Structure 1
Amino acid sequence: MTLPEWLAPLPGSAAMRAADAATIEAGTPGLALMERAGSGLAMLANHIIPEGPIAVVCGKGNNGGDGFVAARLLHGAGREVRVFTTAAREDSQGDAAENLARLSEQPRPFDLQSLDGCAGVIDAMLGTGVTGEPRGAVARAIRILTASGLPVVACDIPSGVDADTGAVPDPDTVVHAVATVTFAGAKPGLWIAPGKGCAGAVHVVDIGVRADRDAIVGLITDDEVLEALPSRAAESTKFTAGHVVVAGGSRGLTGAVCLAAEGAMRAGAGYVIACVPASLEAIFEVKLTEVMTRALPDDGGTLVPRAAGPIVEAVTARGGVLVLGGGVGRTDGALACVREVALTSPRPLVLDADGLAAFAKDADALAARSAPTILTPHTGELARLLGRTSDEVELTRLASAREVALRSGAIVVLKGDDTLVVDPGGPVAVSEGGAPGLATAGTGDVLAGVVGACLAAGLEPWHAACAAVRAHLLAGRRAASPHGPDGVVASDIVAALPGAIASARYAGRQ
């Protein structure tokens, strides 16, 4: 599978093993690759820990070999270095054993006193090919290292993080680094939570190995993802610019529909209809100047099953995209309405927020849909789809999102600083994050509207979801730029969308 150009490949452990082997077969010795890796590691460690003794804690594999190289080079540069190992000397093999032999002083076993007087640590214990929770001497070393509070520079991947998924099998036994030096390309686990939170600043060192673009996970860092969004031309009409229907709302939760509808319009949709409870329609008429409203049957401000037919009619009349579920609440009637609409509408669907609760423990039912489906859950909503706890999902975000995508046949946009866009059986895009202003109520509703607008613009569904995630992120950054992230509210994101999208398009044409 070849990723689009607007994704930076995040090669997994198998891809990196293959790339290393190909490089060695082409004539570059493994010792040379390890020397380059250790050199990059030493340079960053020297910068982050500018003075004082550095402890280098090494495991038995090539990750430990990189640590041995770094220790030798730091010592040669005049730094005080203490080298420790979590394995027996004879456990090191091949290039790692060769670099162990080149040390002027042999490593000592790691124990409780090993870090006394040290200024920082290099973690070279577990490499990218290791899965499962750390055990034995490595687990003990990680706990000691964590208790010390010293700054840690990780080699390739923090020990205890799954390089392919970002999963942390044991949250109590994982290295929390201030920086990670990784080689040839960043690994998925460095950008996907909870591993992302353990990696610190990620630095990629070129060691002469090229992992090809045939990866299944990529990082959205290029604004080119937005260039496929069409711009309005002289011959455009409000319908050709994109038709989005937003359905939901209930008493006390009218804002969700408003934010989704406004997000869709600001992301380019030319015609938006809000299908809302009849008893609350006047509120939406006041709030939404540019959006048409359609009154639906309700009971005390909450949608009822009889509202399903009018919603399906509204979205099929002009071939629109349906954004469903925001603010709909969790009454039996509202959830029954959502479920009927989702399973009978022949149009593309973005299912969000409370609407996802209609399929709690039953994501498989969505596989019966014939039109494209995009789910936009946060961690708790994805957990309800799976019948698990939020904590369980948070520790296995990628695996959990993949499971829902495969079971439902839908694209899953799992929201977070590392928002994941998972195609069932296909590629995964990861947002680079870095917009803390988005951590406020209502921004998820905005995102749902933007996804709807990108779908209505004619983008292929997975591309539409990726484009929406990028536009939403850029708007979050732009909204925070005047005063910082703490005072950002969701309507600020809506207001920032047009400028963020226009700037990204303009930059891409330079």
Structure 2
Amino acid sequence: MALPDWVDPLFTADEMRAADSYAIDEAGVPSLDLMERAGAGLARVVAAAAEPGRPIRVVAGKGNNGGDGLVCARILREEGREVDVLSLGDPAELRGDARANLGRLPGPPPDPFDAARLSGSGAVVDAMLGTGFEGAPREPVAGAIAAINDAGVPVVACDVPSGVNASTGGIEGDAVRAGATATFHGSKIGLHVAPGTFHAGRVEVIEIGIPREAPGGSQAGLICDRVLELVPHRRRDGSKFKSGTVVIAGGAAGYTGAPCMAALGAQRTGAGYIQLAVPHSAQQAVALRVLEGVTRGLPEEDGMHVPDGVTDVQELAERAGAVILGPGLGRSDGAREFARAVARSVEAPLLIDADGLNAHIDALETLRERKAPTVLTPHEGELARLLGIESAEVAAHRLKYARDAAERSGAIVVLKGDDSLVATPGGPVAISPGATAALATAGTGDVLSGVIGALLSKGVDAFAAAAGGVLAHARAGKVAATRLGADHTVAGDVIEALPEAFARSGPG
């Protein structure tokens, strides 16, 4: 599957090397010109970030990243700024374009790196390690990273913060924490995937003269507004059923809020008809919260779903555009069997969240047997349980494990987070352009399930529905945070902000 046109492509390190090679070998662009433009763009970002009246320190490595830093230092000196170049190696060992730019540097030559020199800087430029770096930084780079992070001054990274894997966002050891990153030609995957994204700061893409026809990014991209153009409007000649019918199965005793949040999120996304399948004892509580929905009480044991309720869900799903399984489901043996049977039997597009996911521990591969689209929406802990690994391992390698889960399940996998990843089985990954701390509160995951479920019910392709839901949900969180403050936003506020997140012109 190729990258869809509703993402902006991102580059791996290998893809960036291919673009560089095309520019130099096929298009005849001198590599020295590429470095000059990169360094000039870096200098612009540094000049904007630096505190006035204080010296700028460029910490330069031995490769082309260091060469970009030397160009940056030259341009800033030519503009009259005080710039010190601190070298992590012997400048005499520089080769190629980096060596050429050392010869062009006016003023004092580079000094050996000294951590004490960073104090009082107007800005520090991290020009140590480039996009090709993998693994844990070794000395002297590791010590320089620690010193830069401890300096308490503005930091600008050259192409990618040193220590961050440009292709994955992974970090082994330590990495520079930058306030801004000037990256060249196209943004890199690792600048938008945690933990790397939390080290990149504001990312600014610098055009360096690589032709448009050069090979591009093909594995991942940032979700952009174009995905929301795929969401159909309600029609004047339509009906509640044509606007999207969603069935939500969950809501055990004590957890009735979760299916309600999903239902209200689906309604605000535009679904026309919501049916909630909950245990008998929860039916009244749910009905009072979701006035525009229809509830059905299912067989239960101690307030939890049991397999006898599967037939009811199958019946409801026959006319549904999508089924959401899991919000507030609970973890009893009966609920687990209920969830597995629902997943096996319903023929509508299915979104599985929360305890619906926990029900598939040791059974993830069974979802491959489904013929209709399936979307899974785990957070890191849920994905870790599904894959039988530790949460910390998922957190450190989010891209890898989102892809693994998609491949094993045959489903679209939304690994939730500030950088929510939408992975396809063996195909591309769509990445959220960033959310807000306002979403770090109970119930917002249920709202996301409702949003994606509503888009599925309207016939939107599962990959686009998941990505569009992630984007709209993040936007709604930002709208709510602007109104109320991130610390004071609750899931209901995100629901109320969804119309603004989706706002666009269209037929009435």
Q: Normalising to structure 2: TM-score of the pair?
A: 0.94
> How far apart in 2 are the matches of 1:122 and 1:47?
12
Which stretch shows the higher mean deviation, 261-270 or 428-437? 428-437
> How far apart in 2 are the matches of 1:149 and 1:288?
50
> How far apart in 1 are the matches of 2:435 and 2:259?
26
Q: Which residue of 1 is the match for residue 111 of structure 2? A: 108
Equivalence map 1:20-31=2 (5 Å): 20-25=20-25, 26-31=27-32
Q: Which residue of 1 is the match for residue 462 of structure 2? A: 461
Q: Which residue of 2 is the match for residue 246 of structure 1? A: 248
> How far apart in 1 are the matches of 2:258 and 2:390?
25
Deviation track 1:169-198 (CA, whole Å, cap 9, x = no partner) reads: 22xx11000111111111111111111100
Q: Which amino acid aligns with 2:391?
A: S
Q: Which residue of 2 is the match for residue 72 of structure 1? A: 74
Q: Which residue of 2 is the match for residue 58 of structure 1? A: 60
Q: Which residue of 2 is the match for residue 160 of structure 1? A: 163
> How far apart in 2 are the matches of 1:72 and 1:289?
67
Which stretch shows the higher mean deviation, 246-255 or 115-124? 115-124
Q: Which residue of 2 is the match for residue 19 of structure 1? A: 19
Given that residues 37 and 208 in structure 2 are in contact (C-alpha distance below 8 angstroms), is that contact kept between their aligned partners in structure 1?
yes
> How far apart in 2 are the matches of 1:367 and 1:389?
24
Deviation track 1:329-370 (CA, whole Å, cap 9, x = no partner) reads: 122221221122112322211000121111225422322222
> How far apart in 1 are the matches of 2:129 and 2:288?
59
Equivalence map 1:6-405=2 (5 Å): 6-25=6-25, 26-49=27-50, 50-89=52-91, 91-104=93-106, 105-170=108-173, 173-209=174-210, 210=212, 212-213=215-216, 215-222=218-225, 224-315=226-317, 317-405=318-406
> How far apart in 1 are the matches of 2:42 and 2:235?
52
* Secondary structure in 2 matching 1:429: strand
Given that residues 3 and 213 in structure 1 are in contact (C-alpha distance below 8 angstroms), is that contact kept between their aligned partners in structure 2?
no
Specify every segment of 5 or more residues in structure 1 that has no aligned partner in the other structure, as ranges.
Answer: none
Q: Which amino acid aligns with 1:34?
A: M
> How far apart in 2 are the matches of 1:369 and 1:466?
21
Cα deviation, residue 319, structure 1? 4.2
> How far apart in 2 are the matches of 1:437 and 1:115?
35
| Residues 287, 395 of structure 1: alpha-carbon distance in 2 compared, 3 angstrom cutoff | same
| Residues 47, 320 of structure 1: alpha-carbon distance in 2 compared, 3 angstrom cutoff | closer
Deviation track 1:267-324 (CA, whole Å, cap 9, x = no partner) reads: 1211111000011111112112111111111112111222223222321x21431100
Cα deviation, residue 90, structure 1? 5.1
Given that residues 2 and 213 in structure 1 are in contact (C-alpha distance below 8 angstroms), is that contact kept between their aligned partners in structure 2?
no
Cα deviation, residue 66, structure 1? 0.2
Deviation track 1:399-443 (CA, whole Å, cap 9, x = no partner) reads: 111111111111011111111111111111111124332222111
> How far apart in 2 are the matches of 1:98 and 1:504?
52
Q: Which amino acid aligns with 2:134?
A: T
> How far apart in 2 are the matches of 1:167 and 1:267?
34
Cα deviation, residue 60, structure 1? 1.7
> How far apart in 1 are the matches of 2:79 and 2:496?
53
> How far apart in 2 are the matches of 1:39 and 1:20?
17
Given that residues 10 and 219 in structure 1 are in contact (C-alpha distance below 8 angstroms), is that contact kept between their aligned partners in structure 2?
yes
Given that residues 263 and 450 in structure 2 are in contact (C-alpha distance below 8 angstroms), is that contact kept between their aligned partners in structure 1?
yes
Cα deviation, residue 106, structure 1? 3.2
> How far apart in 2 are the matches of 1:37 and 1:112?
26
> How far apart in 2 are the matches of 1:434 and 1:452?
20
> How far apart in 2 are the matches of 1:118 and 1:469?
39
Aligned length: 502
Given that residues 61 and 96 in structure 1 are in contact (C-alpha distance below 8 angstroms), is that contact kept between their aligned partners in structure 2?
yes
> How far apart in 1 are the matches of 2:93 and 2:298?
70
* Secondary structure in 1 matching 2:136: coil
Q: Normalising to structure 1: TM-score of the pair?
A: 0.94
Specify every segment of 5 or more residues in structure 2 that has no aligned partner in the other structure, as ranges.
Answer: none
> How far apart in 2 are the matches of 1:213 and 1:243?
39
> How far apart in 2 are the matches of 1:43 and 1:266?
43
Cα deviation, residue 213, structure 1? 5.0
* Secondary structure in 2 matching 1:131: coil
* Secondary structure in 1 matching 2:486: coil
Given that residues 362 and 386 in structure 1 are in contact (C-alpha distance below 8 angstroms), is that contact kept between their aligned partners in structure 2?
no
